[in-house]
Structure 1
Amino acid sequence: MKKKLSTVLLALAAFMPMTAQNLVKGDYGYLYCHMSDKGEWTAYAISRDGYNYQDINGGNPIFNPEEHARIEGGTRDAYITRMHNGKGYIMVTTDMCVRKSHKWDNYGIDLLKSKDLKNWTSVTFDFRKGMQNFCDAATATSPYKDWSTINRVWAPQIFWDPDYRWENGEKGGYMIYYSMLNRAEEKYDRMYYSYADKTFTKLTTPKLLFDWGYATIDADINFLKSDGLYHMLIKKEGGKRGIFTATSKYLNHGWSAPVDDDFVSFEGNKLTEGSSAFQLIGDDTWRVAYIQYSDHPKHYRICKADKYLRNFSDPVDIKGVMAPQHGSFMRITKNEYKMLQKWDKELKNKAK
């Protein structure tokens, strides 16, 4: 009887949807992968406690941004995570360099992958090229009539979705979500998503994630075991300032409008954006990092939230990072931590 029951349960499990979630691994420290506020490049910092960090390479680039950002030469808003099978790392960046273009428009994103956190390969998607970018162009519906008038593709992030099904029947893909604006065809920035394949080199045609009737940017999605829901931190452009939260039962649809009674509001009427949520090792509550950019110098803060990603409290400035900006946090192992410390020494010796 027990054997029959086990067989039935296994059969049912095969048809049940799996929870989408990025692979979290590492019980020793934290990697803060971010755009440097000194320049539009990607930098690393490491920490044992999630608050006090040590810059890698003095906060200078961990790779040449022009090698990977083939449109404008700047890699902004870095988001890093592990590959779903644990065999490497992937990153997405906004391909944009305001210092060169002198404007807050851009045209694409960069997808990067690495085996060792040090050496990266990449592909660039210039959205002005339209449907030729996308691997499902033959069957997909284009969200725009004219891609050449694209104005912004901002702050991409990654979420592993084991249930996504490709046209050939293969399951599993990385949902890449980002804000996009085509002023000729829409009134404000809206959130879209595509899927990248397991090689992290192909991308599907963008689909609208939601439209709340006003501009939204800088989304950060996490699945919470505490309530079985997907939670999004996001910036609303215009109106009340702060970092807001929304929830959904599903990763790529069903997102309710953000709540107004509980949000990151510590900065009052000052401007905030670029949120990134992470959990400390052995702790089921959350930490939410964000940039407050009204002051000069800017403040990159980390606040607390409960296990439901609500009840925000106790904001403090990040410590030890020379030029923190929009980025992401990944827990790392002792071997990874020690490897990055060793690499830091090698880079400093090389620079002498």
Structure 2
Amino acid sequence: MLLSAIGGKAQSKVTGAKQPYSAYLFTYFTGDKGGEAIRFALSSDGYNFKALNNNQPVINPANTSSTGGVRDPHIMRGADGRTFFMVATDMNTEKYGWGPDSAMVLLKSTDLVHWQSHVVNVSKTFKEFAEINRVWAPQTIYDPSINKYMIYWSMRFGTGADKIYYAYANKDFSGLETVPKQLFFKPDGGSCIDGDIVLKDGRYYLFFKTEDKGKGIKIAVSDQLTQGYMMIDKYVQQTKSWVEGASVFKLNTGPDYILMYDRYTEGKYQFTRSHDFENFEVVDDLVSMDFHPRHGTVMPITTREAAALTRQWPK
């Protein structure tokens, strides 16, 4: 998420004044069959969330994806403070099972209500990746060094290990303008998926789920966005349950961040809080949701933006 680059405030299109963040938008999907569509929820404190639109989709995947389903939505605010970008896995397990999946969906909006969308099929766009069978959990981050948006995701060839790749989006966020490059792979050769990069104190923290050789969430850290990630060999989830879909967001007040993830074998979500990305405290007793999310992301928003979302999709 681009938090520090926009100074914790959003630019108002109407007045030009800086609007402080006062709420949170949770973007998520709900399950394997019938739940593979983007849904929204709102919170005023980052702990208690209420679904919009009666927990029904806010974007029809039949109109935006090649499979008729999407998973793992990630949302972020652009560097201008008033443009929003969303990416998701183009995947429909009800129709096609667990793959192969070679596409992602790119969406762009200026009001969080109306979205332009484009499908990017990596295997068809880049001949080097014609044999891939997974394009999973894409996310976007702004690269200030070249003023472009970088999309990163997990990708797999055959039965090999999933590795995290990246490429830069084109100017109108309708496709990829660079050939994907490898961003990170697990040193022991195991798979890594569900990457989430957070810029904190000048360093990039890559949260990811390990597969195969040990399962859980670990962090790799670098001073550079596109290279140099060194894994900290420590699981950071605060449960013995299997987890996935790790996502981090900063609270609007104070220095703390929330690391949340799906305890997918139990049908539960867990929230933890940290200020240093070394120690994580479980805060589940503070959390309430009137829905069950699967692999989603949370973005701070303004009072005006929250009101517009509520008018469009009442709680």
Same fold (TM over 0.5): yes
Cα deviation code 1:69-114 (max 9, x no counterpart): 1x21111111011122123211000000111102243111011001
Report which of the two has the higher share of helix: 1
2: CA distance, partners of 1:161 / 1:41: 28
2:120/2:175 contact within 8 Å kept: no
1:20/1:162 contact within 8 Å kept: no
2: CA distance, partners of 1:20 / 1:116: 19
Which amino acid counterpart does residue 322 of structure 1 have in structure 2?
Answer: F
Which blocks of at least 5 consecutive residues in structure 1 are unaligned? Answer: 1-18, 132-141, 165-171
> Equivalent residue for 2:277?
309
2: CA distance, partners of 1:115 / 1:249: 31
> Equivalent residue for 1:207?
181
Cα deviation code 1:166-212 (max 9, x no counterpart): xxxxxx110100000121xx721100000013321231210001222
**1:216 pairs with 2:192:** yes
For the residue of structure 2 that corresponds to 1:257, the secondary structure is strand
The percentage of aligned residue pairs carrying the same residue is 34
2:155/2:165 contact within 8 Å kept: yes
1:21–1:155 distance in 2 versus 1, CA, 3 Å: farther
> Equivalent residue for 1:342?
311
Which amino acid counterpart does residue 228 of structure 2 have in structure 1?
Answer: G
1:163–1:272 distance in 2 versus 1, CA, 3 Å: same
**1:28 pairs with 2:22:** yes
> Equivalent residue for 1:276?
247
For the residue of structure 2 that corresponds to 1:67, the secondary structure is helix
> Equivalent residue for 2:165?
192
Deviation at 1:116, TM superposition (A): 1.1
1:266/1:315 contact within 8 Å kept: no
Q: For structure 1, which segment, 48-57 or 26-35, has the greater mean C-alpha deviation from structure 2 after superposition? A: 26-35
2: CA distance, partners of 1:220 / 1:93: 13
2:270/2:282 contact within 8 Å kept: no
* 1:128 equivalent among 120, 123, 132: 123
1:21/1:161 contact within 8 Å kept: no
Deviation at 1:21, TM superposition (A): 6.1
Which blocks of at least 5 consecutive residues in structure 2 are unaligned? Answer: 10-19
**1:58 pairs with 2:54:** yes
2:218/2:231 contact within 8 Å kept: no
State how many pairs are aligned.
297
Superposition CA RMSD, Å: 1.9
Deviation at 1:36, TM superposition (A): 2.2
* 1:44 equivalent among 40, 44, 50: 40
2: CA distance, partners of 1:321 / 1:68: 26
Matches within 5 A, 1:1-352: 23=6, 24-25=8-9, 26-37=20-31, 39-69=35-65, 71-131=66-126, 144=128, 147-164=129-146, 172-183=147-158, 187-203=160-176, 204-212=178-186, 213-225=189-201, 228-260=202-234, 263-268=235-240, 270-295=241-266, 298-306=267-275, 308-316=276-284, 318-345=287-314
2: CA distance, partners of 1:48 / 1:102: 37
TM-score in terms of structure 1 length: 0.80
Deviation at 1:264, TM superposition (A): 2.4
1: CA distance, partners of 2:5 / 2:39: 21
Deviation at 1:123, TM superposition (A): 1.1
1: CA distance, partners of 2:193 / 2:62: 25
TM-score in terms of structure 2 length: 0.89
2: CA distance, partners of 1:175 / 1:128: 18
1:22–1:45 distance in 2 versus 1, CA, 3 Å: farther
For the residue of structure 2 that corresponds to 1:63, the secondary structure is coil
